[in-house]
Structure 1
Amino acid sequence: MEKRQRIQSNDDAYNCDSLHRISEFEIEGNRFKFNKVLTAAIFHFMRSRLNLIESKSDTVSLTNISAETFRHFLDTNIYNYGNGLWGYEHLSEIWETAHVLKIPSLIENCETQVGKMISLETFDKIYAKANAYQSNRILCKARNFLLHMFRLVQKIGLMRILTFEDLIYAVASEELRIKNEDIVLRSMFEWAEYNQMQLQENLVEVSQKKTKLDNSVPCKEDVEGDPSSKFSKLLRASRYGLASVECLVELSKHHLCEQDKEAKLVITEAISYKLERHIHGYWPHYALHRSCHVRHVGVSASKDQVSALVLEMDDWKDLPKCSLHAKITNLSIFDDELYVISSLEFQSLLFVFTNKEWKFVSEISGSDFIVLSKGRCIYIIDGKNCRIKCVMPKTTPVLHSEIKFPDMMRNPESALDYDKSILIFCSTDSDEKLAVISLDVPEHKWTDCGHLEGSAKNLVGFRNETKYFILQRDGAISQVLRNQDDSIGFILIKRLWSIQNSLRGAFIYNDVLYIYGDTPIEPSCFRAVSGLFWKIDYWFADQETSNFVHWFVPSVDLWGDGALERSESYYDFYFLPNPNNDQRAISGP
């Protein structure tokens, strides 16, 4: 029967006289000192190999080890046993030994084991060694650990040890698992503050050394890789638009923002976006949710059914129905929640979708509205009664106020949230011209903005990060401009088609222009617009539908409730570059 031996780390192992005399081992001509446990393990392994377990003689061969023997020791005692004896403390010394010996296979084996030991308790030690050894394999594992354990890593103060490259990788990653972006934003401030303090201490030390060498030569240190100079880059790479207003306001007063104008601009930009985020059809890159638990969707309704187009999947999903919905005529996004107006004859009801169900908000007299959200209100434009109803749905009870139309405004057809104003497009006696009226919010000041060519009916608006646009039913895209005298102007950019099309909505997401209409259009009509969008996704349905708005929704609210199969009346048109560098429209099923 094969003789089996076991090495135990007990007190008897350390009482051997010969073990007490061993303080180091020689491996391939390099001398190493290991901790007490590791030294005992190697010593008994060598005695076992030399069949000297029963012998009390001591020979130099017990401490003079070849690299192959050392690898065999590791395979036998470290890698093949899930023994609690072999923690990171021991593997750390072996990892260091492997790098001194410069044996690739041994380094690879060590990294395999070390990678399995990354935890909150060992992260800082492993991360420091991985950077010292420039171990891309371990650094990749550390980055992956950081993406999944970001909140806890930040909580125990380990963010400060990260390199700029690894921190910006984490805050920019789509895979970062974090529910509160305030944590991400604060971690960047903590990192920059700590590294700035370390930098200043190093500069003082260098300056003192230079002063001792030559007191007459002024100390001028060129700071290369200054963490504070990278601070704004960190912020720009993150999803700072998802942080809370309270957090942003607090950090805007931080001394780092006072020192770095670009960082101050980033935080100010985020605050402005948060305060006026009830915009029509645009989420900037810094406000796009990164979590796989949240999906960006385009939402529309047909009769009593609200459906969402999952933008990343080109797939439609039904939201739960509400028995009180008669005919949904309007959708609006307010405070990141979906509101709908359901109308029946001369009465309408306002509902909000929250926690996978519809909740009644308020009753509204009248029907056939134009609806949009801006600031603290949902504005309901009632053309029949020549009034705008201002609804504050977050108050209890819901507050209503009304604004009378000015004498110059008649027949409102469409509206656009633009800058500090609401632009209302009205029909005129001529089918070739429309009137533009501006309502400043919250002053409620009316301004006649003149006329624009084309029809006011079914006109929709969209925007990118800095510019606003309108898309008219004849396919004309125009940029909206505010002139120096505060008047409103329009510049025609491109005409996408030449037929009349009743549009439901349009928005830009990830540089793609999503359009929803009621008329099939030949793909050849579409052309990308450089600097605005590189692709068009056009959807249409011949049945009567509500407007089409951009929203984000928890995935759990979409899956499990049944999917809306794409019908033959939906088409997806988009652009693919071809070898001739022009664009060709491709029609998907």
Structure 2
Amino acid sequence: MEKKRKSVCKEDCVPSECLRIDLNVRVEGKSFRFNQVLTNALHHFHKEISNKIEYRFEMVEEINLSAQMFDEFLSTVQWYCEAKSHLWKLEHLLELWDAARVLNILHLIRTCERKVGRIISEENFETVYAKANLYKSEIVLYKARSFLQRVWLEEDFKMSLTHVLSYAEFYHLIKYRSDNNYGDISEDIILRSIFEWVENFEKQVGSTEEISQELVKLSLDKRENGDRDSFLEDKLEESSKLSRLLKASKYNSASIECLKELSIHQLCKKDREAELILTKAISFKLDRNTHGYWPPGAFERNKVGYRHIGVLADEDQVSAMLLEEEYFLWMEVPRCPLHSKITNLTVFDNELYTVSSSGLESLIFVYRNKEWKFVLDLPNKDFVVVSKGEFIYAIDGTSSSVKCVSPRETPVLYSEIKFPDMMRNPESALDFDKSILIFCSTDSDEKSAVISLDVPEHKWTDCGHLEGSAKNLVGFRNETNYFILQRDGTISQVFRNQDGSIEFTVIKRLWSIQSAVRGAFIYNEVLYVFSNTPMESLCLSGVLGAFCKIEYWHQQREACDYVHFFMDIDERMSETINDFDDDSDDDSNE
């Protein structure tokens, strides 16, 4: 009767009389000196398969195993062995892997690699990774990367483990995390790990030659993945390693405290591009908190109830339009009984504010917790309103002053700034960079005066002139660039020169008539424009040269303003959406 083979377990080779330190093991004629535990286990295994099971060692100097027998021994080394195999430890698996490499038998090497890949932990990661890198083992390296992808964002994860990664590998790890949804995990962890990795990398690799070799390796990986175009774009950028890693992350999602801390890091002092990336991210954060600027991907899409919307004010009614739907449906926001004629809309701290004229004064309301709440009354009317930094700025041509409204502070009317002598007849304003650009009408419609108010210093600067009228001028922006749209359809990009001066560069003219433009913004590469003037679609020819697409709305009534932000859709709006969906389904069924 054939004997049943037993797995090698601790109880089989514990007795002291079976310890044998100097026993030589030969596999396929090659001699190996394994550690004591492995030697005893191999001796026991050899006796078992030779049908000579005895619980004492015979006086032999060496044992001989074939490749097949060695493979069978490897199959007994399992993590699920009774009481957990005493051989399922890194030191034993690495010795077996070394032996398989010496034998140069592929299937033995692969068996050992799979076992080593399964035992990876935070405690042994650096040891395993170093050996896998030495042996160029794709199986173990893949397992190591997968392990990092699983655990490196856990709260108690040791960031030092990423230090062993090459530039290309760390870049791919960052990119993998950015391209996959990890829920509500803070981006602060990612940015700090990037700076730690670069610091460690610069200590170990000082030469630009080694860095360039890493970039070449990254380029080859990208080509293998069919990402040739992306690689060529990156190559043109001539980015530093730090800035490339930052761009691979979702740095815009980090906290403003983290961004400010890292922007003054010693690495940023040496790397102007990386410093600029973080500075722009800080600016984005401040802008978002002020007027609700949310570029695609800069918020968690699983946030229940929140949607990107366009908001329109018309007489005493505010309406909202969802921007992420295939259809465009205007939904009425609950009406405020004190609204008589809304003259301005603005977004501050991602909340919607209205300015409503009432006789000789104006009333400011905020839409909060699904209802309108009174904020402040201001003398006069017909303001130009811009939100920036800590305040809502109400530019008042009647009193020749700018009223600084701080909605969350007491007193709400914080201060009043007098116009400079060169400024009169303000028509429009644009939140630009560190300033508010105010466009004023002159004696001629062919030219407008431009005045800058720096924030928060509240310093005035004469910025010269802009070709064309300042009336009905609106400003908008994407993540990095600022634009203005004039009523004759001219789109210009706004630049700040190194000397601080402002420059306007015409990009395209969208139409050839005078339009009462009320608002514009870019979302998902689409330029949304609202006007009180009907527009033939033929007037928009050639717009694709400037933006991916344009959506243009108009209505006969005198809409006053049009803005874009990210808000919680209330029950009434949700019911309207659902009703519209039901109607659409009924129509399709018919």
TM over 0.5: yes
Instruction: Give the alignment partner of residue 289 of structure 1, picking from 293, 298, 308.
Output: 298
Query: C-alpha distance in 2, partners of 1:547/1:170?
Result: 44
Query: C-alpha distance in 2, partners of 1:120/1:317?
Result: 52
Query: C-alpha distance in 1, partners of 2:84/2:208?
Result: 49
2:202 is paired with a residue of what secondary structure? helix
Letter in 2 for 1:391: V
Deviations 1:350-396 (A, max 9, x none): 4366xx86795823447765432223222234567765432223435
1:224 is paired with a residue of what secondary structure? helix
Equivalent residue number for residue 573 of structure 1:
none
Deviation at 1:294, TM superposition (A): 6.8
Equivalent residue number for residue 493 of structure 2:
479
Unaligned 5+ residue runs, structure 2?
A: 215-238, 582-590
Equivalent residue number for residue 495 of structure 1:
509
Query: C-alpha distance in 1, partners of 2:21/2:271?
Result: 60
- C-alpha contact 2:521 2:564 (8 A) present in aligned 1: yes
Matches within 5 A, 1:409-428: 412-425=426-439
Query: Could you say if the C-alpha distance between residues 142 and 405 of structure 1 is closer, same or farther in structure 2, counting changes exceeding 3 Å?
Result: same
Equivalent residue number for residue 549 of structure 2:
536
Equivalent residue number for residue 130 of structure 1:
132
Which region of structure 1 is more displaced relative to structure 2, 35-44 or 539-548? Answer: 539-548
Query: C-alpha distance in 2, partners of 1:329/1:97?
Result: 81
Query: C-alpha distance in 1, partners of 2:578/2:535?
Result: 19
Equivalent residue number for residue 218 of structure 1:
none
Deviation at 1:539, TM superposition (A): 5.7
Letter in 2 for 1:51: N
1:289 is paired with a residue of what secondary structure? coil
Equivalent residue number for residue 189 of structure 2:
183
Instruction: Give the alignment partner of residue 174 of structure 1, picking from 171, 174, 179.
Output: 179
In the alignment, is residue 192 of structure 1 matched against residue 178 of structure 2?
no
- C-alpha contact 1:294 1:553 (8 A) present in aligned 2: no
In the alignment, is residue 159 of structure 1 matched against residue 162 of structure 2?
yes
Query: C-alpha distance in 1, partners of 2:134/2:331?
Result: 53
Deviations 1:535-586 (A, max 9, x none): 22526475987855555679x999x967947979xxxxxxxxxxxxxxxxxx
Letter in 1 for 2:392: I
In the alignment, is residue 351 of structure 1 matched against residue 336 of structure 2?
no
Query: C-alpha distance in 1, partners of 2:136/2:570?
Result: 44
How many percent identity over aligned positions? 40
Query: Could you say if the C-alpha distance between residues 126 and 323 of structure 1 is closer, same or farther in structure 2, counting changes exceeding 3 Å?
Result: farther
Equivalent residue number for residue 69 of structure 1:
69
Which region of structure 1 is more displaced relative to structure 2, 132-141 or 400-409? Answer: 400-409
Deviation at 1:339, TM superposition (A): 3.4
Deviation at 1:280, TM superposition (A): 7.5
Letter in 2 for 1:20: R
Deviation at 1:398, TM superposition (A): 3.6
Equivalent residue number for residue 224 of structure 1:
210
Query: Could you say if the C-alpha distance between residues 487 and 320 of structure 1 is closer, same or farther in structure 2, counting changes exceeding 3 Å?
Result: same
- C-alpha contact 1:414 1:456 (8 A) present in aligned 2: yes
Letter in 2 for 1:289: A
Deviations 1:71-107 (A, max 9, x none): 3344454277697333545444444444444444444
Letter in 1 for 2:200: Y
Query: C-alpha distance in 2, partners of 1:331/1:223?
Result: 55
2:194 is paired with a residue of what secondary structure? helix
- C-alpha contact 2:430 2:436 (8 A) present in aligned 1: yes
Query: C-alpha distance in 2, partners of 1:54/1:121?
Result: 38
Deviation at 1:417, TM superposition (A): 1.5
Equivalent residue number for residue 299 of structure 1:
309
Query: Could you say if the C-alpha distance between residues 223 and 342 of structure 1 is closer, same or farther in structure 2, counting changes exceeding 3 Å?
Result: same
Equivalent residue number for residue 229 of structure 2:
none
Instruction: Give the alignment partner of residue 390 of structure 1, picking from 377, 392, 404.
Output: 404
Matches within 5 A, 1:311-330: none
- C-alpha contact 1:278 1:373 (8 A) present in aligned 2: no
Deviation at 1:29, TM superposition (A): 4.1
In the alignment, is residue 375 of structure 1 matched against residue 409 of structure 2?
no
Matches within 5 A, 1:103-118: 103-118=105-120
- C-alpha contact 2:18 2:40 (8 A) present in aligned 1: no
Query: Could you say if the C-alpha distance between residues 253 and 433 of structure 1 is closer, same or farther in structure 2, counting changes exceeding 3 Å?
Result: closer
1:225 is paired with a residue of what secondary structure? helix
Equivalent residue number for residue 515 of structure 1:
528
Query: C-alpha distance in 2, partners of 1:370/1:487?
Result: 23
- C-alpha contact 1:477 1:495 (8 A) present in aligned 2: yes
Query: C-alpha distance in 1, partners of 2:556/2:74?
Result: 72
* TM-score, scaled to structure 2: 0.69
* TM-score, scaled to structure 1: 0.69
Matches within 5 A, 1:31-110: 31-54=31-54, 63-78=63-78, 84-85=84-85, 86-110=88-112
Query: C-alpha distance in 1, partners of 2:353/2:423?
Result: 26
Deviation at 1:494, TM superposition (A): 1.1
- C-alpha contact 2:129 2:141 (8 A) present in aligned 1: yes
Instruction: Give the alignment partner of residue 339 of structure 1, picking from 333, 347, 352.
Output: 352
Deviations 1:331-350 (A, max 9, x none): 54445x33332748565444
Equivalent residue number for residue 400 of structure 1:
414
Query: C-alpha distance in 1, partners of 2:38/2:577?
Result: 63
Instruction: Give the alignment partner of residue 363 of structure 1, picking from 376, 396, 413.
Output: 376
Query: Could you say if the C-alpha distance between residues 23 and 468 of structure 1 is closer, same or farther in structure 2, counting changes exceeding 3 Å?
Result: same
Letter in 2 for 1:435: S
Deviations 1:171-219 (A, max 9, x none): 443338474444333323322333333457xxxxxxxxxxxxxxxxxxx
Query: Could you say if the C-alpha distance between residues 94 and 46 of structure 1 is closer, same or farther in structure 2, counting changes exceeding 3 Å?
Result: same
Query: C-alpha distance in 1, partners of 2:394/2:564?
Result: 18
**Aligned-CA RMSD value:** 5.1
Letter in 1 for 2:141: L
- C-alpha contact 1:182 1:243 (8 A) present in aligned 2: yes
Deviation at 1:443, TM superposition (A): 2.6
- C-alpha contact 1:298 1:551 (8 A) present in aligned 2: yes
